[in-house]
Amino acid sequence: MFELTDKKVLVTGGSRGIGKSIALALGKAGADVAITYARSKDAADEVVKLIKEGGRNAIAIQADAVDTKRAEEVVKEVVETFGGLDVLVNNAGITKDTLIMRMSEEQWDDVITTNLKSVFNYSKAVVRPMMRSRKGSIVNISSVIGLTGNAGQTNYAASKAGIIGFSKSLAKEIASRNIRVNVVAPGYILTDMTGELDENVLKSIEDVTPLGRGGEPEEIAAVVQFLASDASSYITGETIRVDGGMAM
């Protein structure tokens, strides 16, 4: 339904988890897909292989999401390889959870920089090529924790709330150039990252989720695909929760 035939897409942190599912879904919908990865080269190469097997072009680029200059280089490479860039999905992110009394400055800085500065880096880098083509869609992956807060996640919550405020502001700046900026806020999604949580913690999360289960990465990818497509052409500055009702 939300086809992306011949769209050119960049997904940061696209080698695993939610990012992988997004990259595969957008490729299946007809897009050429570039992904970035920090360390998981083999996993990134597998994503590229799967997208190419589906008949679309794909590349994987090693990049530290917090490196502003590298973000500019990545966007330039994608534009030169694909002949343009229509969609950016800012997905790269980490967690370093602990109570604030135990949180180190490094743990705070690492999460804020990786999760929030990376969105600034790549959004700034894609604005010029999108402005030249007078169209584009930027989809930023936040979290329901950015809306509700959560004990032991002050750094993560601050970074994810920051993404929402950033996205609303950017949406107002570039709407006149037909570039849209939206946010997807996942709840508890079944990935490698959440798989490390204690069984009792997982049960408590499911208990406060009205649908009574964790979400699948593909359920996030479906919403991203909608926001990347022309079907959402009159939506900008919006935050869509995909959380089973957790933050309702």
Q: Grade residue 223 by pLDDT with cuts at 50, 70 and 90.
A: very high
In this structure, is residue 210 part of a structural domain? Answer: no
For 34-83, how does the pLDDT look when each residue is reduced to its tens digit (9 = 90+)?
A: 999 999 899 999 999 999 999 999 999 999 999 999 999 999 999 999 99
Q: Is residue 155 part of a domain?
A: yes
Inter-residue long-range contacts of 66-72, CB under 8 Å, 24+ positions, other chains counted: 66/113, 66/114, 66/117, 66/118, 66/121, 67/121, 68/117, 68/121, 68/124, 71/118, 71/121, 71/122, 71/124, 71/125, 72/125
**What CATH number has the domain bearing residue 80?**
3.40.50.720
The pLDDT of residue 102 is above 70: yes
| Alpha-carbon dihedral angle through residues 3, 8, 13, 19, given to the nearest 10 degrees | 10
pTM of the model: 0.95
> Is 138 contained in some domain?
yes
Q: Would 19 be classed as within a structural domain?
A: yes
Q: Which domain range does residue 15 map to?
A: 8-185+224-232
Model pLDDT, residue 202: 79
Residue 68 in any domain: the answer is yes
pLDDT above 90 for 98: yes
Q: 3 lies in a domain?
A: no
Total number of domains in the chain: 1
96 part of a folded domain: yes
Give the residue numbers annotated as catalytic, written as ranges: 156
